[in-house]
Amino acid sequence: MVDFIKEVEEMLSLYDTFPKQIQEGYKKGIEIKSFNKKFKGVILSGMGGSGVTGDYIRVLGLNSKIDIPIEVVKGDTLPSWVNKDYLVVAISYSGNTHETLSCARQAYSIGANVIAITSGGKLEELAKKNGSPIVSINKNYYPRTAIAELVSSALGALKAQNINLINDNEINEAIETLKGTSRGEGLNIASNISDKNLYIISGCGPYELLANRWRQEFSENAKALAKSELYPESAHNDIVVWQLDQMKNTAFILFVPDEKEKLCFILANLLEKIYEKQGSTLIKINPRGNNLFSKLIQSTLLAGYVSVYLAKLKGINPTDTSITGEYKKSLEKANLN
């Protein structure tokens, strides 16, 4: 079995930079120019790791006191109701993502204000051509390892527009929480689940985001089959699967909500009993931090560590995502680039 020592260490080292990414990304974001405008809403456009950035912002927006909606677009078309009174944040790590470029062009065509978050490429060129603010992201990452900088850059850029989802103290607290998250935690979890071939990852309320993010990290880094269950919605459908005695070679990962999240707390207790009856491995994750952003980003870093070590233990190269290139080649053949 190949152990991919070099590739594993490269990925772990990139995840290690999360605290630095938060500090630098937030600073870059708040330094962009303000449009001095009250927006009707915010659209975050992005795909893959860049698209996940929008998910974090949306969750933080739902749990804040702002008075405008935040929506995420993961596709090549803006909603028909978006107009010049909306702020469109186009996020593409490479700067060459077809769907994001398409949305940015549509935004310009209707006169909407646009902010670009990118490491370069066509998005940077388009934003410069239209005089839009650009948050320049470090070029030396894989998109999934740049989540901390992408999210903090978006938070800072919105703050520059007087859309306050977070304050400086929460940013600093998140940095300290990340510093207290170790590779060893990830290795310990990965070691407990490395003999499984299916991963069920469950989150409730704001932790739905974490269930999806862990699934994506398991897919990209460990090439592992994973399914996310999103509660309370999954309590009305997905949960029925567990009425039967299903596959034993399954690991369940459950995010433990705060007690103040009454509905989610009830569901978590129920799920723990249901999953344990399946007779397989159950891992409970307690997101750490004194604010929601800290908890989300800390658990995201842990996902990176777990998935990379899982790849190592399974003999998988965590850096290889070559199959996504087939999709990009298909777009090029159709002149969608």
Q: Which CATH number fits domain 181-314: 3.30.1330.60, 3.40.190.10, 3.20.20.370, 3.40.50.10490?
A: 3.40.50.10490
Give the DSSP per-residue string, 40-93.
Answer: SEEEEE--HHHHHHHHHHHHHHHTS--SS-EEEE-SS---TT--TTEEEEEEES
Which residue ranges does the chain devote to CATH 3.40.50.10490?
5-166, 181-314
43-47, 188-192, 279-283, 304-308: which has the minimum mean pLDDT?
279-283
pLDDT tens digits along 168-204: 999 999 999 999 999 999 999 999 999 999 999 999 9
pLDDT of residue 4: 93
User: Taking a C-beta distance cutoff of 8 angstroms, is the pair 259, 205 a contact?
Assistant: no
Residues in the chain: 337
Domain 5-166: CATH superfamily, name plus number: Glucose-6-phosphate isomerase like protein; domain 1 (3.40.50.10490)
pLDDT of residue 337: 64
Three-class SS state of 226: strand
Global pTM reads 0.96
Above 80 in pLDDT, residue 273?
A: yes
CA distance 211 to 224: 14
Tokens representing 176? 């300290």
**Distance (Å) of CA 204 to CA 36, 41, 67, 132, 241:** 36, 26, 24, 37, 18
Q: What is the band of 64 on the pLDDT scale with cuts at 50, 70, 90?
A: very high
